[in-house]
Homo-oligomer: A and B are copies of this chain.
Amino acid sequence: MSADLVQLVTDLARRARAASLVLATASTERKNAALTRLAELLPASTDALLAANAQDLAFARENHLTGAQIDRLALTPKSIAHIAEGVRQVAALPDPVGEELERTVRPNGLEIRRIRVPIGVIGIIYEARPNVTIDCAALCLKSGNAAILRGGKEIFHTNVALAALVTTALADAGLPKDAVQLIPTTDRAALTTLLKLDTLVHCIIPRGGESLIRFVTENSTIPVIKHFKGVCFVYIDRDADPEMAEKIVINAKTQRPGVCNAAEQLLVHADVAEGILPRLAQALLAHKVELRCDPAGAAILQKHGLAHRAAEPQDFTAEFLDLIMAVRVTPSLDDAIATINRDSSAHSDAIITRNAATAQRFLAGVDSATVFWNASTRFNDGFEFGLGAEIGISTDRLHARGPMGLRELCSYKYLIAGNGQVRG
């Protein structure tokens, strides 16, 4: 690894740390002024952004990226306006910093207050999506955190152009321009260097595929909040309303199959499988969903002449992100809970039942970030939760679990006031 590169990334992180101390006590008005300015600059800079984006698109075409991959990279005047609107929404959210979370007075007279404060310096490692650059910059800024952004190389020129707008907006609002910095190289060694700077950077959030997250987890000495995969289950209980079950399964599987809160796995209670599965399978097939079944499920579909294939073992823990669903028949609620706790990614799992006692056992027993009763797994989302915006959906159990909004981008500190107390 070149000494120059190590120096470059270390200096960048030092500047981020210094900026974070200023940002931590910056007023809400000043932070919102920077966000509002950024929201103005984005559409006003459409030509420059599209020109930078064209460089990335040309590179993508030369390197034979798929059409879907290229679509994800592309900026348009409309997508730029949409990104700017997201920034305005973040500006409109309440400032999480400074909120008093607790106050107690101890018998010795010490007053102990717990106050929400920014985490400090957050490194965001993500793949090739231009909106992420601005979304993350806006959320970190509003929550008083300095951000170090490291986007995918496929979108490098676009990110440089976007980051320049953030720098301008910060400066125009009188905030340190180093509060949001893009790592100015696509060299992988820059990332490896960053992940070891644990005295300057306080948190790493990787957003992307499994191999990126695995790389970050294995190489970071900085605490990482993972946004991992969603192997999400819907369990149709013996006491399910068949129509509701169908409506929810179709929505959870097909409304947007490529996202982490889409359902991948279906469990049906054996007592109702014969009654519910054929019609449900028909509806899924009508939505072009391929069904990969266990022997019991396959036997039922076979009898009704419905298309399916035998599941391979790995299908039962798969995140397909596609119009594919694995199907199993389960003998009991307890078996369903145990299956989910073993095979799901503990992201978003649902039960469909009219039986409240059964639902309570499922909600208590399923060890997942979000557990649904009679609702689609697709609702596991910061906007749907009313958080206003999210930096992602944490699959970790420490600090933040499930949708991460502004509040989850904060830590806390204790402020203690006395009048000369000493410990005896």
Interface residues of A (CB under 8 A from B): 21, 24-25, 104, 106, 110, 112, 117, 119-120, 198, 202-203, 217-218, 221, 223-225, 241, 244, 247-248, 250-252, 255, 341, 359, 363-365, 367-376, 378-380, 384-386, 396-399, 401-402, 411-423
Contact = CB atoms under 8 A, between A and B. Distances in A.
Number of copies: 2
A248 B422 contact: yes
B420 A244 contact: yes
Contacts of A375: 110, 416-422
A223 to B, nearest CB: 5
B379 A110 contact: yes
Contacts of A368: 413
A378 B422 contact: yes
Q: Which of A112, A224, A252, A414 has the most CB of B within 10 A?
A: A414
A397 B398 CA distance: 11
A187 to B, nearest CB: 23
A372 B412 contact: no
Given A421-B376, A423-B251, A106 B224 contact: no
A225 B411 CA distance: 14
A380 B110 CA distance: 11
Given A110-B375, A411-B401, A416-B379, A24 B367 contact: yes
Contact of A398 (B225, B250, B363): B225
Contact of A217 (B25, B221, B379): B221
A410 B341 CA distance: 18
